[in-house]
Structure 1
Amino acid sequence: MKGARACKPMSYLGTDTTNRKEMDVSVIVPVYNDPSGIEGTLRSMTAQSYNPNKYEVIAVDNGSSDETPAVIKHYANEYPEIVVAEQETEVQGSYAARNTGISKSSGEIIVFVDADVIVPEETVEMIVEKFSTTHCDYLGLDIAVTIPETEQGLIARYNKARAFPVEFYLTHHDFAPTCGLAIKRSIIEDVGRFDQRVTSGGDSEFGKRVAKAGYTQCFAPEIELSHPARTTFSEILSKGVRLGEGRAQLRQNHGESSLKLKDILPPHPVKYWKRLSKKKPIIMFVVFYILETIMKTCKLKGIIKEGVKHRFGSSR
């Protein structure tokens, strides 16, 4: 049951429901310059056990400059459940792409996955069953981070260790990451779409909006998707900066909490040791601790960078 809530979201969060055909499920996959990632995701989505006439997969190209559009078109030509969608706005970002997917979708259940996620064949069927047999309105899926056999380095192991604690996010922060999220269409029509002005953290802001509106948020550990680990130092650094930019944008646009001392200080070594599990070798703990500290430095860089841009109007 819904509780009291504030006024309706701003117009950029509206929902266009014209020209929709009836579907049970719409799976929205934003992608940018990732032909191998989208190929793996679409291949897994076309192998679903659910009736292919009752679900659709909307691949939203976010202005790719490589073979990504060709991969999407190939699958769309081969499989009628694959829908090609191009970015509708000048804003280039994953949340803008997801909003485009929503406007093109027709399902009563909307599922969001990332372009490098592998979806087991019973996933759509299990999501439909979960919504039909429970009071869930917003469903976080479990995310298993996988490391290729050829890339078992410390960066990949670090990424897997910090990974996606979806249940923790839902319990303590009222959101699930959009690499594995399912939600009823009616709720998006009520609370609005994603804030496409933010670089990162839009899934958190959206989830909190859903929670504030009084809807039921659930975690589905039995529905597990596979997400590849980041394996390079540059990927870790760029993610840290992006997280910092998103943090600053959320504060600017939504009055999110100000920067706290713990956000910029190195992690508490004892607490971090407990979090990682004492079973890990000491050398691995030291490397992970250093990487975590570097990530915090990169987040601070992103916060400062976005703050300067906001204050002085400098380009990113």
Structure 2
Amino acid sequence: MLSVICPIYNEEKYIGACIESILAQDYPKDDLEVIFADGMSTDRTREIVAAYMAKYPWIRLIDNPDRIVPPALNKAIEASCGDIIMRLDAHASYADNYFSALVSGIDKYEADNIGAVCKTDVLNKTPRSLAIRAVLAHPLGVGNSTFRTGISEVKEVDTVPFGCWKRSVFERFGRFDERLVRNQDIEFNKRIHRGGGKIVIIPDTYSTYYARETYSKLAKNNYGNGKWNILTVWYTRQFKSLSLRHFIPLVFILSLILPVVAALFWTPMIWLAVFSLLGYTIVISAVSLDIAKKQKLRFINLFKTFFVLHLSYGWGSLSGIIETPFVKI
């Protein structure tokens, strides 16, 4: 039995495509249950899920009054009955063999968590949204994140999205940390690593994540990501809860702010900020130009996307640092 768990909240734009990809899975439906944990959605999300529930009794909906992801996951795990548990995201769709490939791979690769490449796409294809898609699939946009940049062979990694575990993994390593509004999956994977567990990514299947399609939504999402990188370390007291790539945008922001502050006492320090910004501008201009030529996209949209992505992420991390003295453990 496979129990698929998925936290949802106001996902009317994406939930239909997500469920349709679940229905298309080649995994036997007699051995499947799908549990959506809803954070009391105020749009049509619950209505859409209910329509599918009426047709497919193996789809269930439970309430998550806490309205954040970790309690949703933990409640769904508790409500599930499968030997194997898989976590999905409503902002994504899944290849027809996603369930079967991951379930069969758990024993084959002796994995405590197994996942696959996550491709980036957008629902509405415009010059701006296509630029966002390209940036979120480029190493300069997402660092050395293996599950985003792609693989050609099975690899051991530090984290995977939308993973698959035997139920016994939660008995060994605990459940998701409910203090973490974000990064709960990354922190859980780091916990598995520290406990001697094995996390594997396979090239046999894939998921498709639908990115935000405007600069404002991209900035809001990545501001939250950056902020919760810092708060995750604060709560867990573990720098190893995350990876080095998660803190590079913060370093960039500090390279601009600290020299400006120092210049109040010694004016030449301002040049450090100038050189940092100039170097950054040259790098993202070159990369944007390269992507624009190869994918026939607009240079200015790519440039803006890199700038919004990195600055919002780094600013979020700085905000997290400022906030930590007021956060109770």
Structure 2 length-normalised TM: 0.75
CA distance in 2, matches of 1:35, 1:196: 25
CA contact 2:121–2:133 (8 Å) conserved in 1: no
- Give 3-state SS (helix, strand or coil) of 1:142's partner: strand
Is the alpha carbon distance of 1:130 and 1:93 closer, same or farther for their aligned partners in structure 2, counting shifts above 3 Å?
same
Determine which of 195, 198, 206 is the counterpart of 1:216: 198
Q: How does 1:261-280 map to 2 (within 5 A)?
A: 262-264=251-253, 265=255, 268=280, 278=290, 280=292
Query: Structure 1 residue 139: deviation in Å?
Result: 0.8
Query: Structure 1 residue 98: deviation in Å?
Result: 1.5
CA distance in 2, matches of 1:36, 1:311: 38
Structure whose CA Rg is larger? 2
- Give 3-state SS (helix, strand or coil) of 1:281's partner: helix
Match of 1:246 in 2: 228
CA distance in 1, matches of 2:281, 2:192: 35
Query: Structure 1 residue 284: deviation in Å?
Result: 4.6
Letter in 1 for 2:251: K
- Give 3-state SS (helix, strand or coil) of 2:201's partner: strand
Letter in 1 for 2:119: A
Match of 1:154 in 2: 128
Determine which of 259, 282, 296 is the counterpart of 2:310: 296
CA contact 1:30–1:59 (8 Å) conserved in 2: yes
CA distance in 2, matches of 1:311, 1:145: 36
CA distance in 1, matches of 2:177, 2:287: 32
Query: Structure 1 residue 271: deviation in Å?
Result: 6.1
Query: Structure 1 residue 64: deviation in Å?
Result: 0.7
Query: Structure 1 residue 101: deviation in Å?
Result: 1.4
Q: How does 1:1-316 map to 2 (within 5 A)?
A: 23=1, 25-87=2-64, 91-148=66-123, 150-163=124-137, 165-167=145-147, 174-177=158-161, 180-257=162-239, 262-264=251-253, 265=255, 268=280, 278=290, 280-281=292-293, 284=298, 287-312=301-326
Residues 156-192 of structure 1 deviation map (CA, whole Å, 9 limit, x = unaligned):
4223432474447997971113xx2112221122111
CA contact 1:49–1:121 (8 Å) conserved in 2: yes
CA contact 1:57–1:83 (8 Å) conserved in 2: yes
CA RMSD in angstroms comes to 3.1
Is the alpha carbon distance of 1:81 and 1:278 closer, same or farther for their aligned partners in structure 2, counting shifts above 3 Å?
same
Query: Structure 1 residue 205: deviation in Å?
Result: 1.0
- Give 3-state SS (helix, strand or coil) of 2:103's partner: helix
Query: Structure 1 residue 274: deviation in Å?
Result: 8.0
Match of 1:15 in 2: none
CA distance in 2, matches of 1:174, 1:63: 32
Residues 235-282 of structure 1 deviation map (CA, whole Å, 9 limit, x = unaligned):
111112111221121121122449666352568467657877935339
Q: 103-112 or 154-163, which moves further after superposition?
A: 154-163
Residues 9-48 of structure 1 deviation map (CA, whole Å, 9 limit, x = unaligned):
xxxxxxxxxxxxxx2x111111110123112212221232
Query: Structure 1 residue 222: deviation in Å?
Result: 1.6
Residues matched between the structures, number? 286
Residues 37-77 of structure 1 deviation map (CA, whole Å, 9 limit, x = unaligned):
11221222123222211111111111211111111122122
CA distance in 2, matches of 1:102, 1:218: 21
CA contact 2:218–2:309 (8 Å) conserved in 1: yes
CA distance in 1, matches of 2:288, 2:83: 39
- Give 3-state SS (helix, strand or coil) of 2:43's partner: coil
Identity of aligned residues (%): 22
Letter in 2 for 1:109: I
Query: Structure 1 residue 118: deviation in Å?
Result: 1.4
Gaps of 5+ in 2: 256-276
- Give 3-state SS (helix, strand or coil) of 2:251's partner: helix
Bigger fraction of residues in helix? 2
Is the alpha carbon distance of 1:44 and 1:290 closer, same or farther for their aligned partners in structure 2, counting shifts above 3 Å?
closer
Gaps of 5+ in 1: 1-22
CA distance in 2, matches of 1:154, 1:50: 36
CA distance in 2, matches of 1:313, 1:133: 43
CA distance in 1, matches of 2:182, 2:100: 30
Is the alpha carbon distance of 1:132 and 1:173 closer, same or farther for their aligned partners in structure 2, counting shifts above 3 Å?
closer
